Structure 1
């Protein structure tokens, strides 16, 4: 399987305030996101992380990468330090990628695009960065954890979410504080 996620911000306490993530503290936040990732992703799966993986304050990226299931690919985000980009544990690291899944051409970047390659031929732009606050264009999806239940998701889940919730791809239940 191939999964997508973004904006995990491991170890970055700003996300608890700014994004109102429903965790009592960063320890609970990070533990929950690790558990959700590993419940979802198997050892032989691929995960495309579309940026803002971990805060330098959280420790070496390698320590976290080895705890997460799957083959991991990083699309660099604005908060990814060079130590994250050069960490062992990534299968690939780049600012932009194009990926084909079945008949779908996916355009991957940390940032949402106004236009993108083969947009007129129904390609799909997957992005992070906006934490669910940006109104998407057709065939454009925010794959950040704030939007998609704090876990990596498949393309099928992303496309289904838009059909179920046409004004937003948001799958997250109402915010509640938890000490997970």
Structure 2
């Protein structure tokens, strides 16, 4: 199965607490990390694929390789293969470290890397997956899945924020626990409900 997420921001202490930008009511980054890992693994199986649309972690430990090692140890705890799309907080050096330490999960490598984005097809639609929201103009059957803006929503019906802080999870009948990657069915539900929402506004 395929799943989708963004903006996990593992280890990012400045996001702890309640804010309009990224409401994360945790006392420590360890609590936040463990909650994401637990909720992720409750849904994602070892053979599943998760598209992570950027901003994996923020950790300023020195030397850098120690930070990368700690991030790598967290990512190893996550079920599934990770298709990593580079976010503004993901350095090339982190990607190089993960690539150097990549390992097999079944017949595939744990990590796959993309600098800009990935295009896939699901249920007769094309999904452009990027970190930053895209302004695509007038399009048919094309949806932009993105992260970056945390607890905000792009006022365009074809843009769906899949980050862990997204307010667009409110379109779902059953909102998954914090940090849970979204399933294909949930993505399609968000797309449909956002289109209905926008139709009501006209």
TM-score class, shorter-chain normalisation, is 0.7 to 0.9
Give 1:153's aligned residue: 182
Unaligned residue ranges in structure 1 (runs of 5+):
169-180
**More displaced stretch, 19-28 vs 87-96:** 87-96
Q: Does the alignment pair 1:122 with 2:151?
A: no
C-alpha distance in 2 between matches for 1:15 and 1:159: 29
Give 2:93's aligned residue: 83
Give 2:51's aligned residue: 48
Unaligned residue ranges in structure 2 (runs of 5+):
62-66, 103-109, 170-177
- Per-residue deviation, 1:90: 1.1
- SS of aligned partner of 2:112: strand
- SS of aligned partner of 1:14: helix
C-alpha distance in 2 between matches for 1:164 and 1:126: 15
CA RMSD in angstroms, aligned pairs only:
2.2
Higher helix share: 2
Contact 2:23 2:165 in 1 (8 A): no
The number of aligned residues is 166
C-alpha distance in 2 between matches for 1:162 and 1:93: 24
Deviations 1:121-144 (A, max 9, x none): 221100000003133311210000
- Per-residue deviation, 1:83: 3.3
Give 1:100's aligned residue: 121
State TM-score, norm by structure 1.
0.82
Contact 2:128 2:142 in 1 (8 A): yes
C-alpha distance in 2 between matches for 1:100 and 1:163: 16
C-alpha distance in 1 between matches for 2:130 and 2:42: 25
C-alpha distance in 1 between matches for 2:12 and 2:54: 14
Deviations 1:19-73 (A, max 9, x none): 2212122110000001011111101110000000012347323212211100101
Give 1:143's aligned residue: 162
**Higher Cα Rg, which structure:** 2
Deviations 1:144-170 (A, max 9, x none): 0012442101132023135557659xx
Give 1:31's aligned residue: 34
State TM-score, norm by structure 2.
0.74
